[in-house]
Amino acid sequence: MEKAQGITWDLSALYSSDTDPKIEQDIETAQKLAQDFKQKYHGKISGSACDATLLLNALQDYENLLAHIYRPYAMASLLFSGDGRSDTYKAFIARVQELYTKINNTTLFFSLEIQKIEDEHLQKMLTDERLKPYSHHLHSLRLFTPYTLSEREEQLINHKNLTGKTAFVNLFNEFTSSFEWQFEIDGETKTMTESDLRQLVRSADAELRRRAKAALDGKYGENALIFTNIFGNLIRDHAGEMELRGYDSPIQPSYLRNDVPGEVVETMMRVTAEHYHLARSYYTIKARLLGVPRLAGSDLYAPIDTSETKIPFEQGKELVLDSFTAFSAEFGSIMQRAFDERWIDAEIRPGKRGGAFCHGILPSVHPYVLLNYVDNLDSVYTMAHELGHALHDVLSAEKQTLLTYHPPLVLAETASVFAEMLLTKKLLREETDQKRRIQIIASKLEDFFGTISRQTMYTYFELDAHLEGAKRRLSAEDFSRLWLKRRDEMYGDVVDFLPEEKWFWAVIPHFIHTRFYCYAYTFGALLVLALYDQYEKEGEPFVPKYRALLAAGDSDTPENLIRSMGMDFRDENFWRGGFRVISDLLDELQALV
């Protein structure tokens, strides 16, 4: 089996097909429940007449109505991810999005009223044991209280977003998924997708990598007018909204959403930037391994061992399953289900979106995973990563309800990166060949520099773009200038970038899809290094504590969840600890080279 041909997902946990009449039923029920919900609870939550029972019923009814729209929404978005060219799926997803907005508008009063409950009164209600599971959720909602506008204003913003910022995000998605390249390879011109080109950027042939990288970033550059407008408008939209709401910084809502103190993230990013030199040392070693005086930008993802062995899907699957099982037999058997019950779509096919994701939908439905599996070690790592997310979702689904099911963003990458660490250790345990060991350590380090140093650099850029873009309209060249400044802070003079790479800011979808998301990768990876360190020290007793952390979902603040593992993220040394692990790996690599 090549490139996971035939490994597609079974969506029947949602619906039998896109024409299943249950979709329409759910959509109708969702609308009806939303209307009933408004009738039943509007004006009754914020006042002193609300008691614990009423609030509890409202929370449960709210979860029930959301579940009815999340199902069709997930179906539409999974189908669209599977084939972005289909007009049927495009129409389906547009319709569900619109409906979702409508339902949000109808039920918006609920979170607004929760925000307006008097502190004292809420504390009294929270003494009722039955509300306990929701106490953190209520707390998180109220973090936004000082920044929330009136109900009518919030509705207007939501309404205008449909043709405003959501339309720009949709344009980005549709536009980039329509991209095709006429690319010459082996004397033949072939039509290629973005994911084909990304694969060539990782090829063993330096010239091919250079051409592929130049073609990829160059195309975003040719269309800079569109990307400048999309990104620029999203920035200005955000700036306007920030001003209306009274935030001091464009990144502040993300701190609130993650429920982490801004100063903790700033410390983490500063400590990360202080360790950029580790990345530079690594890329210097990598140049030596590739036998070049200095790396080109297109060499960053070059394979180190050019005799890279093919790892077919079945073998990758066994590696991932074994690494989970070695940590916990239970984890292994949960992951076995992911394969047996076809939670995974891994094959490469035209129209399918690139990259990989795990979509946790509802506690009552198992998560779905999308991969583009290309028979190499990277693909195995991506599989471990996404299945780590899936494991997190499954464990969280045991006790959490819809509102507390999704892990907080800063912990969202914990299980995924931890799973990669388990895979690395399994590979190193079994590998005696020196060249292979070099490859494994190097690829892990590369990953850490990608998720830790690079994502922090992205966040610094994103922050610069928002701060400058709020003041004036940024041109394409402005974006590139800001990008190059932050990029060069990280790579210094150890990498010669291609001219086309000045457009790379336009290629990164996070800036469009999930503003200020990237530092969560840094956070997650550094946290995992600290956790892994503790696992190596403690052994078995660590396993149930880690399981409890994942099962806790979003039921407490990240600070408390991390403290339950015996760690304190306010301590600067907590973050430095992660870099000691990296530095040790780097020393090991240096010794092997």
Task: Between 219 and 515, name the residue whose CB sits nearer to Zn ion.
Answer: 515
Task: Between 420 and 556, name the residue whose CB sits nearer to Zn ion.
Answer: 420
Task: Between 26 and 393, name the residue whose CB sits nearer to Zn ion.
Answer: 393
CB of 392 to Zn ion, least distance (A): 10
Task: Between 81 and 416, name the residue whose CB sits nearer to Zn ion.
Answer: 416
Residue 221 and residue 500 in contact, taking contact as beta carbons nearer than 8 Å: yes
The torsion angle over the Cα atoms of residues 226, 227, 230 and 231, rounded to 10 degrees, is -160
Task: Between 77 and 401, name the residue whose CB sits nearer to Zn ion.
Answer: 77
Task: Between 37 and 324, name the residue whose CB sits nearer to Zn ion.
Answer: 324
Residue with tokens 């051409």: 211
DSSP-assigned beta bridge partners for residue 362: 365
How far, in Å, CA of 391 to CA of 367, rounded? 9
CB of 580 to Zn ion, least distance (A): 24
Task: Between 30 and 525, name the residue whose CB sits nearer to Zn ion.
Answer: 525
CA distances to 432, 439, 499 from 210, rounded to whole Å, are 33, 22, 11
CB of 475 to Zn ion, least distance (A): 33
CB of 388 to Zn ion, least distance (A): 8
The site for Zn ion, by CB under 5 A, has a size of: 1
Name the amino acid, one letter, at 3: K
591: exposed, middle or buried (C-beta count within 10 Å: 0-12, 13-18, 19+)?
Answer: exposed
The secondary structure of residue 365, as a DSSP letter, is: B
* Closest residue to Zn ion: CB criterion: 416
CA neighbor of 296 nearest in space, from 497, 152, 465: 497
Q: What are φ and ψ of residue 190, in 5° steps? A: -125, 150
CA neighbor of 344 nearest in space, from 322, 379, 368, 317: 368
Query: Which residues 58-77 are close enough to bind Zn ion by CB under 5 A?
Result: none
Residue 525 and residue 575 in contact, taking contact as beta carbons nearer than 8 Å: no
Query: Which residues 375-394 are close enough to bind Zn ion by CB under 5 A?
Result: none
Q: DSSP string of 280-294?
A: HHHHHHHHHHHT-SS
Task: Between 77 and 416, name the residue whose CB sits nearer to Zn ion.
Answer: 416
Residue 558 and residue 260 in contact, taking contact as beta carbons nearer than 8 Å: yes
224 is written with which tokens?
């800079």
159 is written with which tokens?
């309404």
- If one asks whether residue 522 binds Zn ion (CB under 5 A), the answer comes out as no
Query: Which residues 546-585 are close enough to bind Zn ion by CB under 5 A?
Result: none
How far, in Å, CA of 180 to CA of 173, rounded? 14
Instruction: Tell me the window of 139-147, 409-417, 461-469, 549-557 that interacts with Zn ion (CB under 5 A).
Output: 409-417
Query: Which residues 411-430 are close enough to bind Zn ion by CB under 5 A?
Result: 416
In the shown chain, the binding pattern of residues 490 to 519 toward Zn ion, with x for contact by CB under 5 A and - for none, equals ------------------------------
Number of neighbouring beta carbons within 10 Å of residue 444 = 21
Task: Between 117 and 549, name the residue whose CB sits nearer to Zn ion.
Answer: 549
Query: Which residues 251-270 are close enough to bind Zn ion by CB under 5 A?
Result: none
CB of 429 to Zn ion, least distance (A): 24
Task: Between 484 and 508, name the residue whose CB sits nearer to Zn ion.
Answer: 508
Q: What are φ and ψ of residue 314, in 5° steps? A: -60, -40
Helix (H, G, I), strand (E, B) or coil at 57: helix
Task: Between 228 and 416, name the residue whose CB sits nearer to Zn ion.
Answer: 416
Q: Of all residues in the chain, what percent are helix, strand and coil, respectively (each to 5)? A: 70, 5, 25
Residue 99 and residue 30 in contact, taking contact as beta carbons nearer than 8 Å: yes
**Helices vs strands, H then E, count in the chain:** 28, 7
CB of 338 to Zn ion, least distance (A): 15
Helix (H, G, I), strand (E, B) or coil at 49: coil
CB of 359 to Zn ion, least distance (A): 11
CA neighbor of 238 nearest in space, from 511, 581, 35, 537: 511
CB of 546 to Zn ion, least distance (A): 17
Task: Between 227 and 523, name the residue whose CB sits nearer to Zn ion.
Answer: 523
Instruction: Tell me the window of 172-180, 271-279, 288-296, 408-416 that interacts with Zn ion (CB under 5 A).
Output: 408-416
Number of neighbouring beta carbons within 10 Å of residue 245 = 16
CB of 561 to Zn ion, least distance (A): 18
Task: Between 317 and 392, name the residue whose CB sits nearer to Zn ion.
Answer: 392
CB of 356 to Zn ion, least distance (A): 8
Residue 320 and residue 425 in contact, taking contact as beta carbons nearer than 8 Å: no
CA distances to 10, 341, 389 from 386, rounded to whole Å, are 17, 16, 5
Residue 465 and residue 482 in contact, taking contact as beta carbons nearer than 8 Å: yes
How far, in Å, CA of 573 to CA of 578, rounded? 9
CB of 253 to Zn ion, least distance (A): 21
CB of 268 to Zn ion, least distance (A): 18
In the shown chain, the binding pattern of residues 127 to 146 toward Zn ion, with x for contact by CB under 5 A and - for none, equals --------------------
Task: Between 111 and 416, name the residue whose CB sits nearer to Zn ion.
Answer: 416
CB of 418 to Zn ion, least distance (A): 11
CB of 385 to Zn ion, least distance (A): 6
List of residues contacting Zn ion (CB under 5 A): 416
